[in-house]
Amino acid sequence: MSTSSPTSSTPTLSDIALRAPESGIVDIMNYGRRKGGVMPLWAGEGDLPTPAFIGKAATQSLAEGETFYTWQRGLPELREALAAYTQRLTGQALESERFFVTGSGMQSIQIALQIALDPGDAIIVPSPAWPNIVAASGLRGADVLEIAMPFVDGRFTLDMGAIEEAAKDEKTKAIFINSPSNPTGWVADLETLKAVHDLAERHDLWIIADEIYARFVFGEAGLQGSNPKRAPSFKDVDPLSSRVIYVNTMSKNWAMTGWRIGWIEAPVELGQVIENLIQYSTSGVAAFMQRAAVVALNEGDAFVDEQIARATTNRDLLAETFAPLNRLQVSAPDGAFYLFFKVLGETDTRQLARTLVDEIDVGLAPGTAFGPGGEAFLRMCFARDPEQIAEVAERIARWISISA
Amino acid sequence: MSTSSPTSSTPTLSDIALRAPESGIVDIMNYGRRKGGVMPLWAGEGDLPTPAFIGKAATQSLAEGETFYTWQRGLPELREALAAYTQRLTGQALESERFFVTGSGMQSIQIALQIALDPGDAIIVPSPAWPNIVAASGLRGADVLEIAMPFVDGRFTLDMGAIEEAAKDEKTKAIFINSPSNPTGWVADLETLKAVHDLAERHDLWIIADEIYARFVFGEAGLQGSNPKRAPSFKDVDPLSSRVIYVNTMSKNWAMTGWRIGWIEAPVELGQVIENLIQYSTSGVAAFMQRAAVVALNEGDAFVDEQIARATTNRDLLAETFAPLNRLQVSAPDGAFYLFFKVLGETDTRQLARTLVDEIDVGLAPGTAFGPGGEAFLRMCFARDPEQIAEVAERIARWISISA
């Protein structure tokens, strides 16, 4: 036995696998990591590690030997905790049978797409959008109808006319709505959500609802009268709508990005299908990890509030620093924790993002990563220590004034 | 806001999602769990929790705050450890760039299928087979050409003629080979692997090689002269073949079934495609979990040896107990850790598995779960305490003599 060179050539790769693009976010991260010393605001991730009280629950379960196969739909205790958390947030009674534990928000999306789409079907995705939804739809063999959101008076909006047109095609089976939006900070108001739900009813579409950033909502964009403060939800339109599949994650609220735990909330009738789709993709989530998620949901409110407070501070700070800069055009973030902004006169944002890495050690994601309508923008994640954000804002302001 | 009944009906589910069957293994597990007190030999899982020294590495990393997004291809340290482990096993030098960390052996299969198959393509799967490979291929939108393995003189064999016929169809793009086999215990010899590789060359097929049970090989079935003992591998045919994608898992060797960590070994040229497919399905594996996998690979040899010794003891013990029973026909396990056997006169094994749960508290998987050629069999996992296996063997022997 010895190592030799390949004797055969690689067979043809599937069209679908070849079609998946490299993430434009990962591209700049790889570029910046090579340099080192860059303030990493390119990904949707804060600077706080997971709180110790959450990690401890995993450690304890692991020490107790919870290392065997577990429930494909998730531990009953975690499904209960998800139902209770969502109930606290929405004021609506919810069965735990509606909740399914997944190996990330990303996997929740993959499973929702498998439910809604056959190869050759189409899905509507308002754009700019997180690139992974578009790529995952492509991997499903589906066509993605990216509907550019008009940018008017410093805010993105849904183009309901264009969406209606796209919905008319009988191949169109689903619409993906992410509110509050990554990357734009757009937050759908209740009327808009109602209009989308009505449209989905008329055209018999699934709605894949990504309300991951529901807690990060600023100013008047929150739902009137809601306590705790949160963005409007499809739940406020129809609490148990049979056409809405919610995709969610532990990543953002509880600083658990690295854990890869997400969940789906969906009509109970989909239970067996979702269980099968989990079984045949990753076959569940480690029980000892799930114990940590239970503790996060049940005891993590104060930590989430702290994260929201930091994001709010940073949003205001950025607004103040950037307001006087005429070369910047900002999409006012009504929600989520990203600043999406244009530098007037700069057209190649992939290059611009690299220049900012090179010249001021600031890592932002180029708008080219987010599809039609976002190409001219940059995205900054501001879920971090306000001192860091202040420092970054100043570096950018200084760079703008010099490079003008 | 109040809870109300659904006001709309569920949109049509994708054909593909509906096509995924419930696992016949999970079906009997659910049946048996309801009863309680059943010896659980239905799944591919032993009775030992993950060794403490492995868990400790995860605990420490978690305490140190390794809770952020990490490398999509896996931690460099883990990729190095996978390469070193495989090198110890095969005696072949291997680059760590060939190794990719996934969220389970199951996910490794899903990704390999995405690389090899477009919807409408076909894959050859010798049967009986682990049901998840068939189901996952269906979810890819692919046709599965299940080629029944003839059962001759107490052993299953590959029907190379039928495989050649199936390979001729231009839609056929891949063949899945699982040796040592779950559920049959079949181990391909070197000549057979060479014949399969030649066939794949002739018809330009991908080979998806599931050699997960390579270490569990008994008697003369091991590769001549190999130390440590292991089953023949496609690596012995062509160490760096460009058409072989190896799918593997931490689950079995290191008693880490619940962790959901697997890996792919594949030609380096596939690196970017595999990274994309990970990014758009689960976006990586928790770094602190990967630290445990590093320790398992680097320091787990003694534990693996212990697991192999137990399986060997149990295999011999079962052979001895069952040999005198004329009503039993056994597929002699040359590898893996399953006993696949027929009870003559019993035709409905789904019912038979339930009867054994009801009457002797023994949980076996019905052969109906494993596709054509296996319907009349039952599968028993024997990766357990030999005392338990002896007890189960006696219960079955007694039941056979009474129910005759």
DSSP assignment string, A59-102: HHHHHTT--S---TT--HHHHHHHHHHHHHHH-----GGGEEEE
Residue A46 falls inside a structural domain = yes
Q: Is the pLDDT score of A3 beyond 60?
A: no
Which of B62, B107, B201 has the CB atom closest to A281's CB atom?
B107
Burial annotation B144-168 (CB, 10 A radius, 16+ → b, else e): bbbbebebeeebbebbeebbeebbe
Mean pLDDT of the B333-362 span: 96
| Nearest CA-CA distance, residue A190 and chain B, Å | 13
Chain A environment of B225 (Cβ under 8 Å): none
Please report which confidence band the pLDDT of residue A34 belongs to, taking 50, 70 and 90 as the band edges. Answer: confident
Asked if residue A289 and residue A188 are part of one domain, the reply reads yes
| Nearest CA-CA distance, residue A346 and chain B, Å | 29
Please tell me the distance from the alpha carbon of residue A157 to that of residue A339, in angstroms, as a whole number.
16
| Nearest CA-CA distance, residue A386 and chain B, Å | 19
Q: Is the pLDDT score of A1 beyond 60?
A: no
Please spell the DSSP secondary structure of B338-351, one letter per residue. EEEEEETT---HHH
CB contact under 8 A, B281 and A107: yes
Chain B environment of A58 (Cβ under 8 Å): 62
Residue A373 falls inside a structural domain = yes
Residues B235-254: pLDDT tens digits? 999 999 999 999 999 999 99
Chain B environment of A257 (Cβ under 8 Å): 67-69
Please report which confidence band the pLDDT of residue B3 belongs to, taking 50, 70 and 90 as the band edges. Answer: very low
Asked if residue A228 and residue A99 are part of one domain, the reply reads yes
Please report which confidence band the pLDDT of residue B8 belongs to, taking 50, 70 and 90 as the band edges. Answer: low
* Residue B40: φ, ψ to 5°: -85, 90
Residues A51-101: pLDDT tens digits? 999 999 999 999 999 999 999 999 999 999 999 999 999 999 999 999 999
Which residues, other chains included, contact A132 with Cβ-Cβ below 8 Å and sequence gap of 6+? A23, A106, A109, B279, B280, B283
Answer with the one of A268, A298, A328 that is the final residue of a domain.
A298
Asked if residue A81 and residue A93 are part of one domain, the reply reads yes
Asked if residue A284 and residue A242 are part of one domain, the reply reads yes
Q: Is the pLDDT score of B5 beyond 50?
A: no
Residue B344 falls inside a structural domain = yes
A287 residue type, one letter: A
Residues A373-396: pLDDT tens digits? 999 999 999 999 999 999 999 999
Chain A environment of B10 (Cβ under 8 Å): 242-243, 267, 269-270
CB contact under 8 A, B280 and A65: no
CB contact under 8 A, B11 and A257: no
Chain A environment of B68 (Cβ under 8 Å): 45, 49, 257-258
> What range does the domain containing A366 cover?
17-50+302-396
Please report which confidence band the pLDDT of residue A404 belongs to, taking 50, 70 and 90 as the band edges. Answer: low
Which of B258, B279, B286 has the CB atom closest to A287's CB atom?
B258
Mean pLDDT of the B378-391 span: 97
Please report which confidence band the pLDDT of residue A9 belongs to, taking 50, 70 and 90 as the band edges. Answer: confident
Q: What is the pLDDT of residue B10?
A: 86
Which of B62, B270, B287 has the CB atom closest to A55's CB atom?
B62
ipTM: 0.96
Chain-centroid distance, C-alpha A199: 23
Q: What is the pLDDT of residue A403?
A: 84
Per the listing, tokens 């779950």 go with B182
| Nearest CA-CA distance, residue A277 and chain B, Å | 7
A243 residue type, one letter: R
Which residues, other chains included, contact A181 with Cβ-Cβ below 8 Å and sequence gap of 6+? A128, A129, A156, A187, A213, A335, A336
CB contact under 8 A, A281 and B242: no
Asked if residue B266 and residue B237 are part of one domain, the reply reads yes
Question: Residue B265 gets which letter from DSSP?
Answer: E
Q: What is the pLDDT of residue B279?
A: 95
In angstroms, how far is the first alpha carbon of chain A from the final one? 63
Asked if residue A341 and residue A214 are part of one domain, the reply reads no
Mean pLDDT of the A119-141 span: 96
Closest-approach residue (CA) in chain B for A23: B276
Residue B5 falls inside a structural domain = no
The overall average pLDDT reported for chain B is: 95
Q: Is the pLDDT score of A2 beyond 90?
A: no
Asked if residue B354 and residue B293 are part of one domain, the reply reads no
Asked if residue A70 and residue A28 are part of one domain, the reply reads no
Please tell me the distance from the alpha carbon of residue A126 to that of residue A157, in angstroms, as a whole number.
9
Question: Phi/psi zone of residue A152: left (φ > 0), alpha (ψ -120 to 50 degrees), beta?
Answer: beta
Q: What is the pLDDT of residue B67?
A: 98
Q: How far is CA B239 from CA A318, B242, B360, in A?
A: 56, 9, 47
CATH number, domain containing residue B378: 3.90.1150.10
Please report which confidence band the pLDDT of residue B9 belongs to, taking 50, 70 and 90 as the band edges. Answer: confident
Please report which confidence band the pLDDT of residue B94 belongs to, taking 50, 70 and 90 as the band edges. Answer: very high
Please report which confidence band the pLDDT of residue A8 belongs to, taking 50, 70 and 90 as the band edges. Answer: low
Asked if residue B255 and residue B139 are part of one domain, the reply reads yes
Closest-approach residue (CA) in chain B for A15: B118
Answer with the one of B299, B314, B330 that is the final residue of a domain.
B299
Please tell me the distance from the alpha carbon of residue B215 to that of residue B121, in angstroms, as a whole number.
33
Residues A316-361: pLDDT tens digits? 999 999 999 999 999 989 999 999 999 999 999 999 999 999 999 9
Which of A62, A70, A94 has the CB atom closest to B55's CB atom?
A62
Chain B environment of A240 (Cβ under 8 Å): 3-6
Which of B11, B62, B270 has the CB atom closest to A243's CB atom?
B11
Residue A215 falls inside a structural domain = yes
Residues B143-183: pLDDT tens digits? 999 999 999 999 999 999 999 999 999 999 999 999 999 99
Query: How many contacts (CB atoms, under 8 Å) link A and B?
Result: 297
| Nearest CA-CA distance, residue A50 and chain B, Å | 6
Burial annotation B46-79 (CB, 10 A radius, 16+ → b, else e): bbbbbbeebbbbbbebbeeebbbbbbbbbbebbb
CB contact under 8 A, A238 and B91: no
Answer with the one of B283, B299, B315 that is the final residue of a domain.
B299
Please report which confidence band the pLDDT of residue B315 belongs to, taking 50, 70 and 90 as the band edges. Answer: very high
CB contact under 8 A, A139 and B277: yes
Residue A306 falls inside a structural domain = yes
Asked if residue B197 and residue B71 are part of one domain, the reply reads yes
| Nearest CA-CA distance, residue A323 and chain B, Å | 32
CATH number, domain containing residue B87: 3.40.640.10
Residue A276 falls inside a structural domain = yes
Per the listing, tokens 């990704």 go with B111
What are B392's two structure tokens? 């189960």
Residue B357 · residue B31 · CB < 8 Å: yes
Mean pLDDT of the A253-282 span: 97
| Nearest CA-CA distance, residue A295 and chain B, Å | 15
Please report which confidence band the pLDDT of residue A10 belongs to, taking 50, 70 and 90 as the band edges. Answer: confident
Chain A environment of B32 (Cβ under 8 Å): none
Residue A96 falls inside a structural domain = yes
Q: Is the pLDDT score of A6 beyond 70?
A: no
CB contact under 8 A, A49 and B68: yes
Chain A environment of B66 (Cβ under 8 Å): 49, 258
Mean pLDDT of the A36-41 span: 94
Q: Is the pLDDT score of B225 beyond 80?
A: yes
Residue B263 · residue B97 · CB < 8 Å: no
Asked if residue A201 and residue A117 are part of one domain, the reply reads yes
For A169, other C-beta atoms within 10 Å of its C-beta total 14
Question: Phi/psi zone of residue B94: left (φ > 0), alpha (ψ -120 to 50 degrees), beta?
Answer: beta
CB contact under 8 A, A267 and B6: yes
CB contact under 8 A, A283 and B139: no
Q: Is the pLDDT score of A4 beyond 50?
A: no
Q: Is the pLDDT score of B197 beyond 80?
A: yes
How many separate domains does chain A show?
Answer: 2
Residues B39-82: pLDDT tens digits? 999 999 999 999 999 999 999 999 999 999 999 999 999 999 99
Chain A environment of B116 (Cβ under 8 Å): 11, 13-14
CB contact under 8 A, B10 and A243: yes
Apex CA B266: angle with CA B264 and CA B268, to 5°?
Answer: 125
Asked if residue A317 and residue A212 are part of one domain, the reply reads no
Chain A environment of B240 (Cβ under 8 Å): 3-6
Q: Is the pLDDT score of B2 beyond 90?
A: no
